[in-house]
């Protein structure tokens, strides 16, 4: 039963980490962190991401323009770029490391303790990737809410609202955190199984030595 749980936890952890990493990469590059709908022109929709601003019109379609200067961006967008790059890198390393720690991989099959440590390291990297994905998304969402309810801005001025990429980023971060938890649970269960196996072997050896001793005394 413990072996089945460990295998399922490993596969589920890697799958969730992979899903979270792919979604975090999409979140990084999608220009849909913020949406702006103009009441005066309902056929025009503005969106903003970390790298560019886009406008969608029915006749022309979508047209995007990259930001000219990194330093000219608001602080939340500058930091979000760095953190999302960090999240993508940590997520990739976590997948790579935890992949070598899977029991289904034949590489290092005799080194159980090493594979357990690789699973733990992969889980920690997935945690770090999830946190560094949740922080920028939540920060941009917080700033959007602040600006939306700013009383100093006249009511007729259009307000930015949550874009689809924010929800995608939250889901990516939670998937990475859950994947890291499952990988560490699998590593802990493999450690317990390894310890119980050593204990059983030690008991068999003690029992065999006791029987040998009793046989020698009888002779």
C-beta of residue 10 within 8 angstroms of C-beta of residue 103: yes
Instruction: State what percent of residues in the chain have pLDDT above 90.
Output: 54
Q: How far apart are CA 55 and CA 36, in angstroms?
A: 9
Count how many domains the chain has.
1
> Is 51 contained in some domain?
no
Range of the structural domain that residue 169 is part of:
1-33+74-188
Q: Tens digit of pLDDT for each residue in 126-158? A: 999 999 999 999 999 999 999 888 888 887 788
Is position 141 within any domain? yes
Residue 53 lies in a domain: no
| CATH at residue 129 | 1.20.140.150
Mapping DSSP to helix (H, G, I), strand (E, B) and coil, where does residue 48 land?
Answer: strand
Query: 10 Å Cβ neighbour count for 83?
Result: 19
Residue 170 lies in a domain: yes
**Does any domain span residue 119?**
yes
With respect to residue 57, please indicate whether it lies within any of the assigned structural domains. no
What are 50-101's pLDDT values in tens digits? 999 999 887 788 899 999 899 999 999 999 999 999 999 999 999 999 988 8
> Helices (DSSP H) in the chain: which residue ranges?
2-29, 75-100, 112-148, 164-218
Confidence of residue 43 (pLDDT cuts 50, 70, 90): confident
| Residue 39 domain-assigned (yes or no) | no
Running DSSP on this structure, what letter comes out for residue 70? S
214 lies in a domain? Answer: no
User: Is this prediction's pTM over 0.85?
Assistant: no
């Amino acid at each position: 039963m413990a072996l089945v749980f460990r295998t399922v936890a490993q596969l589920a952890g890697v799958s969730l980490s992979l899903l979270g990493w792919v979604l975090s990469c999409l979140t990084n590059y999608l220009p849909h962190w913020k949406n702006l709908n103009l009441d005066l022109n309902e056929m025009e929709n503005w969106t903003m991401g970390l790298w560019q601003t886009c406008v969608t019109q029915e006749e022309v379609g979508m047209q995007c323009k990259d930001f000219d200067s990194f330093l000219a961006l608001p602080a939340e967008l500058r930091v979000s770029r760095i953190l999302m790059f960090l999240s993508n890198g940590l997520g990739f390393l976590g997948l790579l490391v935890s992949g070598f720690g899977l029991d289904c991989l034949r590489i290092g099959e005799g080194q159980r303790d090493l594979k357990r440590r690789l699973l733990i390291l992969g889980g920690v990297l997935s945690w770090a990737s999830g946190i560094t994905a949740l922080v920028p998304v939540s920060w941009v969402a917080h700033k959007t809410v602040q600006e939306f309810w700013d009383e100093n801005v006249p009511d007729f001025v259009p307000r930015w609202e949550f874009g689809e990429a924010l929800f995608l980023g939250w889901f990516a971060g939670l998937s990475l955190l859950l994947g890291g938890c499952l990988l560490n649970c699998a590593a802990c269960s493999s450690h317990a199984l390894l310890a119980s196996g050593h204990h059983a072997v030690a008991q068999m050896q003690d029992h065999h030595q006791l029987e040998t001793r009793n046989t020698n005394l009888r002779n």
